[in-house]
Structure formats: structure tokens, C-alpha cells
Amino acid sequence: MAKASRVFQPTLFPTFSTLHKPRTLSNAPTIIHKKYPTIRCSVSTSDSAIREATSATQKVPWGCDIDSLENAAALQKWLSDSGLPPQKMAIEKVEVGERGLVALKNIRKGEKLLFVPPPLVITADSEWSCPEAGEVLKQYSVPDWPFLATYLISEASLNQSSRWSNYISALPRQPYSLLYWTRAELDRYLEASQIRKRAIERITNVVGTYNDLRLRIFSKNPDLFPEEIFNIETFKWSFGILFSRLVRLPSMDGRVALVPWADMLNHSCEVETFLDYDKSTKGVVFTTDRQYQPGEQVFISYGKKSNGELLLSYGFVPREGTNPNDSVELSLSLKKSDKCYKEKVEALQKHGLSISQCFPLRITGWPVELMAYAYLAVSPPSMSRQFEEMASAASNKTTAKKDVRYPEIEEQALQFILDSCESSISKYNKFSQASGSMDLDVTSPKQLNRRVFLKQLAVDLCNSERRILFRAQNVLRRRLRDIKSGELRALKIFNGFRNLFK
């Protein structure tokens, strides 16, 4: 189900709540966009607005079905006519993802492919078909993410009048993204996973960013940004495209960009090759780390991401056990009944941590910050002088010593983590048991297929995250048994000496 290439993607894109006031545009002509049926949009970032934004969505009037080869072929021809050199790959239907790039010839390990020239790459410096709209956004100092999202909508709305029409026509009409899950679907299918919370946060940011643009810019320039085109539905589409396809190119000063053709490459957990700008060939390329035979699908890496992160942006979950970078977020929380609750909260907040904190568990272990947080959570009042040290070690924002040890509370800290781990496992078990009886009886066959698809994604994510939790549970239980058996041995030795001297 992988959709496109990317090297970098922040957890949350930049939002802007305080924009610079614009200079007045003089003699700006009126731009009339093609009219589309009005799509109702939300007007706040309240919970009701978020629920509305995650309700059943109406498809945007551009793009194509996710597996369209006709549109992809038109894109390839346009790119070739526009300066893309001859390629050793072609777009075809593939097993991993609906569309992908497949080798036409033998490809060697270490070979450079693509060579997409800068004029065929979309960045914040790309020329607008409606230059007045771009000028307005620049005067408000709109950050790259919402700037590019607005640019994409503006170009898409112009259809064939935009130079990017062939590219936009080949983009999915509804990207695979948790942005397109309804709130009910998120609550139902992802209730056990922390990815649900991150999905809601991402939707909140999309809604908030759209509302900032709407209130501060669009409403003041309705001729340039008519609401029937620039609305929450089209922004969900454009941000869905950005989340799944935007890349950061280190050799172009870290510039973020959409790279047509390159974003047809699908992800594999088994490769470690990324896109970048090659100054010698003056094109966006990637270097293969394995050989490909004719007919084989060519892959790149979207980054070292967990299955949950891949689902969040791309809408797919790798097969269980195939992602070496998979992890699950374990939530730890201070107990309000703690006698030192106030002091511990203050120590955490001083280092940018909250009362409830999530830490990644991997199949290979967990970060030292998690153990430091557990030490703080179980530490007694007599260790109040160490609260500051523990909180500092629990934060990944400090360079303080991380691998702190407090043998006197080691057992309690491990038990605390184990309790949290088992609590999470019970949620996954509950979902797993319920998933077999979830009501999928809907009148529309197409909607039924969607529900089945989402449910399968949720089950796959549940199984992969629960697998890591089970591994952590076994490790924790073994360490606790070792501690207790060590204590018993020490007690036996002590009793033996005591009996010897009686």
C-alpha cells in the first residue's frame, strides 16, 4: 500500500497562528477560478469541528483513482517531453502498492536512477499560474507546508491551464492517509494504539492551519481564494499529498519538494536508499543498494519508521515482523495519589515532560529515558533530591547523563513498566477479540470494501504493536524473576552465615 517516496517528514507540520500583516497589493487583477460545487468546511478547531473534518468526505474534483495507469502513463509522457531523460523504469500495477516503478532493464547495485531536473520539481519557489495568489501568501510569510498545500490546490483548480496538470491528474483523488478516516473509525479501529491520538492531533493541525489561512488571508481575498475551491476538503487532500509525498533534499539546502515520477516509488523495509539532489548530474536521484532484474519493482526507503507512522501518513502497514524499525508507544503516567506528586510534576515540566509521557518500545528494547521516568514515578519521598536528576535523564531534550541507576528501586521501576505494558496489552486483546464480530453490514458495496480495508489495516497494526509489547512483557518478567531469585540467594547466604555464628 506504499504510495510515494520521502526522506523527511516532521511529526507535525508547522502551523502559524500569528501571521505578518500584508502590504497592500496595487492594481491586482481579479482572478476567476473555475467554479465547483461548494463543500462545507469547518470554522474552528473545536472537537465538533474536528469531528466534522473527519466525517465522510467528498472527493475533490481532480486527481485519479489510486491505481490508474492511464493517468500515470500521461504523466510519464509529459515528463519526458519536459526534459526527463530516458528511464530504466516504468509505471505498472504492482503487488506492493497499486502502482509502482518497475525495472525495464537490468539495474546494478550502486547505480543512480531518476535524474528529475529542478524545473520538474515543485518547491516553494515554483512559479504560480496565478502569481497574485502566490504574492499574497508570501507577503503573509506563510510557512512552506501550508504554502505548498495552497499552491497545489490553486494549480489543481485550473485544470489544463496549469503546467502541472498532468502531474496533478496522476495524484490520487483520495490519498491513503489517516486524515481520511472518520472520527468514529479512528475511535473504533485504533482505540488501543497511540497512533489514534497522533492522527487526531494531525487532523487538528490541518483544521487549525486551514482556519488560520481562511480567516487571515482567504476571506480578505475572495477573488483569489474562493471558498468553493479553498476549503477544508481540498486542504485535507493537499495535506494528504504532502504528508505522503513531500521530501527534503539535503543537497538543495534541505529544501522540501514534491518530485513527480520519483513519488511513484514504493517503500520497502529492506532497502536503505533515499532521494537527494545530485549536483554533478543536476537532477533528483537515488542510488540503488541492490540489483534489480527486468520486471522487478524498484523500491526506496521512506525512512526508519514504525508501522504506526507508516499507517499515519501513507495508509499501509508492512507485514508483521518485516519492519526492523517497528515500535509501539508505551504511555507512562504519574499517579495522583503519589505523596510527591506535585514535586515530581514540577521536575518533569522543567524538562519539557508531562504527567503522562509516551516512550517507544522496540523488539530490541526500550530507551533509557523510559527507565528514568519509571524511577521517578516510583521513587519515595526520601529520594526527593534525585527527582531533578531523574526528570532530566527522562527527557530527550537534554544532554545530561541518561543511563542512571537506582538499585534500591530497580524492582519497583520494572514492575511499574510491566504494569503499564500489560495494561496496553489488555487493550489490544480487547480489540482483537472484538474485531472478529465488528458490524460490517453496510448498504453500499463500495463502503463495505472500505470498512473491510480499514479493519484489516487496524488488525495488522494491532498484531504488530502487540507483538512488541509481548516481547517487552517477557523481558520484564524475566528481569524481575532474576532480581527476586538474586534476593533469595542473598537471603540464604545471609541466613547461612547467621546460623554459622549462632
Range 63-70 average pLDDT: 85
Q: Report pLDDT for 16.
A: 45
Alpha-carbon distance 239 to 243, whole Å? 6
The x, y and z cell numbers of residue 151, run together, are 499552491
Cell of 11: 511529526
Cell of 100: 509502482
Amino acid in the structure at residue 449: N
Binding-site positions for S-adenosyl-L-methionine read 245, 266-267
What's the CATH fold of domain 69-314? Answer: set domain protein methyltransferase, domain 1 (3.90.1410)
Query: Residue 216: CB partners within 8 Å, gap ≥ 6?
Result: 19, 140
Residue 139 near residue 304, CB atoms below 8 Å = no
Query: What are the φ and ψ backbone dihedral angles of 247, each rounded to 5 degrees?
Result: -125, 155
Q: What is the pLDDT of residues 352-411, one digit of tens each?
A: 999 999 999 998 899 999 999 999 999 999 999 999 999 999 997 767 677 889 999 999
Alpha-carbon distance of 234 to 59, in angstroms, equals 9
Task: Please calculate the CA angle 294-295-298 and round it to the nearest 5 degrees.
Answer: 90
Distance CA 209, CA 347 (A): 33
Query: Is the pLDDT score of 106 beyond 90?
Result: yes
CA distance 253 to 241: 22
In the chain, the percentage of residues whose pLDDT exceeds 70 is 82
Pick the CATH number of 327-493 from 3.40.50, 2.60.98, 3.30.70, 3.90.1420: 3.90.1420
Closest by CA position to 153, among listed 208, 220, 84, 234? 234
Q: For residue 65, give the H/E element and its range.
A: none
CB 434 within 8 Å of CB 189: no
Give pLDDT, residue 3. 37
Do residues 2 and 94 lie in contact, with contact meaning Cβ atoms separated by under 8 Å? no
Instruction: Calculate the CA dihedral of residues 85, 90, 96, 98 and round it to 10 degrees.
Output: 110
How do residues 453-470 score in pLDDT, each as one tens digit? 888 899 999 999 999 999
Side chain identity, residue 116: V
Residue 234 has which C-alpha cell?
A: 481540498
Binding residue numbers: 245, 263, 266-267, 277, 302, 314
Same fold flag, 69-314 and 327-493: no
Domain ranges of the chain: 69-314, 327-493
pLDDT(21) > 50 = no
- Please state the residue numbers annotated as binding site for substrate: 245, 263, 277, 302, 314
User: Has residue 42 got a pLDDT over 50?
Assistant: no
β-sheet with 276-278: strand ranges across: 112-116, 283-287, 276-278
Alpha carbon distance 193, 187 (integer Å):
10
Residue range 313-320: mean pLDDT, rounded: 90
Question: Could you give the CA distance from residue 426 to residue 420 in angstroms, rounded to a whole number?
Answer: 10
> What's the pLDDT band for 85 if we cut at 50, 70, 90?
very high
